[in-house]
Amino acid sequence: MTEDLKSEIRMVVAGQERTFTLAVGQTVLEAAEAQGLDLDHACGGVCACSTCHVKITAGAECFSPATEDEEDQLDEARDVGPESRLGCQARLERAPEDGRVELEIPDWNVNAVREGGH
Protein backbone atom coordinates (compact mmCIF):
# COMPACT_ATOMS: atom_id res chain seq x y z
CA MET A 1 0.00 0.00 0.00
CA THR A 2 1.39 3.40 -0.87
CA GLU A 3 -1.43 5.55 0.35
CA ASP A 4 -0.03 5.54 3.88
CA LEU A 5 2.68 8.03 2.92
CA LYS A 6 0.65 10.90 4.27
CA SER A 7 -1.10 11.28 7.56
CA GLU A 8 -3.98 13.49 8.40
CA ILE A 9 -3.20 15.77 11.29
CA ARG A 10 -5.79 17.14 13.60
CA MET A 11 -4.36 20.26 15.07
CA VAL A 12 -5.63 22.57 17.75
CA VAL A 13 -4.17 26.05 17.50
CA ALA A 14 -5.22 28.47 20.19
CA GLY A 15 -8.45 26.56 20.66
CA GLN A 16 -9.23 26.37 16.95
CA GLU A 17 -9.20 23.02 15.28
CA ARG A 18 -7.98 22.45 11.77
CA THR A 19 -6.70 19.57 9.72
CA PHE A 20 -3.72 19.32 7.45
CA THR A 21 -1.54 16.60 6.01
CA LEU A 22 1.94 15.59 6.99
CA ALA A 23 4.00 13.46 4.63
CA VAL A 24 6.54 10.91 5.79
CA GLY A 25 9.90 12.70 5.80
CA GLN A 26 8.42 16.13 6.59
CA THR A 27 8.77 18.03 9.84
CA VAL A 28 5.74 19.54 11.51
CA LEU A 29 7.06 23.00 10.63
CA GLU A 30 7.58 22.12 6.95
CA ALA A 31 4.08 20.73 6.67
CA ALA A 32 2.56 23.71 8.48
CA GLU A 33 4.34 26.23 6.26
CA ALA A 34 3.44 24.36 3.09
CA GLN A 35 -0.21 24.60 4.05
CA GLY A 36 -0.37 28.16 5.23
CA LEU A 37 -0.37 27.49 8.94
CA ASP A 38 1.38 30.21 10.89
CA LEU A 39 3.65 28.28 13.23
CA ASP A 40 6.31 30.49 14.76
CA HIS A 41 9.94 29.61 14.02
CA ALA A 42 12.12 32.48 15.19
CA CYS A 43 15.45 30.77 14.50
CA GLY A 44 14.41 29.57 11.05
CA GLY A 45 14.09 25.93 12.06
CA VAL A 46 17.62 25.17 13.20
CA CYS A 47 16.89 24.07 16.77
CA ALA A 48 18.13 27.33 18.30
CA CYS A 49 14.97 28.64 19.97
CA SER A 50 11.78 27.11 21.30
CA THR A 51 9.16 29.17 19.53
CA CYS A 52 8.04 26.23 17.37
CA HIS A 53 7.04 24.28 20.49
CA VAL A 54 4.12 21.93 19.83
CA LYS A 55 2.61 19.05 21.71
CA ILE A 56 2.12 15.80 19.85
CA THR A 57 -0.84 14.24 21.59
CA ALA A 58 -1.35 11.27 19.25
CA GLY A 59 1.05 9.40 16.97
CA ALA A 60 4.19 10.71 18.69
CA GLU A 61 5.91 7.33 18.33
CA CYS A 62 5.98 7.80 14.55
CA PHE A 63 8.26 10.85 14.75
CA SER A 64 12.03 11.03 14.86
CA PRO A 65 13.24 10.90 18.46
CA ALA A 66 14.26 14.17 20.12
CA THR A 67 17.98 14.90 20.11
CA GLU A 68 19.83 16.26 23.10
CA ASP A 69 19.89 19.69 21.44
CA GLU A 70 16.14 19.63 21.06
CA GLU A 71 15.69 18.66 24.70
CA ASP A 72 17.98 21.51 25.75
CA GLN A 73 15.85 23.98 23.79
CA LEU A 74 12.65 22.56 25.22
CA ASP A 75 14.04 23.17 28.70
CA GLU A 76 13.71 26.87 27.85
CA ALA A 77 10.12 26.63 26.65
CA ARG A 78 7.07 27.39 28.76
CA ASP A 79 4.49 24.80 29.64
CA VAL A 80 6.63 21.83 28.59
CA GLY A 81 5.34 18.32 29.10
CA PRO A 82 6.11 14.79 28.01
CA GLU A 83 4.33 15.43 24.70
CA SER A 84 6.40 18.51 23.88
CA ARG A 85 8.48 18.67 20.69
CA LEU A 86 10.02 21.33 18.52
CA GLY A 87 7.99 21.59 15.33
CA CYS A 88 11.11 22.09 13.23
CA GLN A 89 12.76 18.94 14.61
CA ALA A 90 9.89 16.47 14.87
CA ARG A 91 9.98 14.63 11.55
CA LEU A 92 7.41 12.02 10.62
CA GLU A 93 9.29 8.77 10.00
CA ARG A 94 6.38 6.47 9.34
CA ALA A 95 2.66 6.77 9.06
CA PRO A 96 0.74 5.81 12.17
CA GLU A 97 -1.31 2.64 11.77
CA ASP A 98 -4.58 4.45 12.22
CA GLY A 99 -3.36 7.36 10.07
CA ARG A 100 -3.89 9.87 12.83
CA VAL A 101 -1.57 12.40 14.37
CA GLU A 102 -2.79 15.07 16.73
CA LEU A 103 -0.97 18.23 17.66
CA GLU A 104 -1.57 21.14 19.94
CA ILE A 105 0.05 24.55 19.81
CA PRO A 106 -0.31 26.29 23.15
CA ASP A 107 -2.24 29.53 22.67
CA TRP A 108 0.36 31.56 24.57
CA ASN A 109 2.79 30.56 21.84
CA VAL A 110 0.47 31.94 19.18
CA ASN A 111 0.18 35.18 21.15
CA ALA A 112 3.97 35.41 21.28
CA VAL A 113 3.97 35.15 17.50
CA ARG A 114 1.54 38.02 17.14
CA GLU A 115 3.46 40.21 19.54
CA GLY A 116 6.82 39.48 17.96
CA GLY A 117 8.37 37.64 20.87
CA HIS A 118 8.76 38.17 24.59
Binding site for ligand FES (CB under 6 A): 41-43, 45, 47-52, 73, 86, 88
| Cα separation, 104 vs 106, whole angstroms | 6
Helix (H) or strand (E) holding 28: helix 28-34
Helix (H) or strand (E) holding 12: strand 6-13
Question: By C-beta, is 4 or 69 nearer to ligand FES?
Answer: 69
- Shortest Å, Cβ 26 to ligand FES: 14
- Shortest Å, Cβ 42 to ligand FES: 6
Question: By C-beta, is 12 or 43 nearer to ligand FES?
Answer: 43
User: Which residue in 59, 56, 9, 61 sits closest to 37, CA to CA?
Assistant: 9
Question: By C-beta, is 40 or 102 nearer to ligand FES?
Answer: 40
CA–CA distances in Å: residue 112 to residues 39, 43, 62, 78: 11, 14, 28, 11
Question: By C-beta, is 1 or 116 nearer to ligand FES?
Answer: 116
- Shortest Å, Cβ 34 to ligand FES: 15
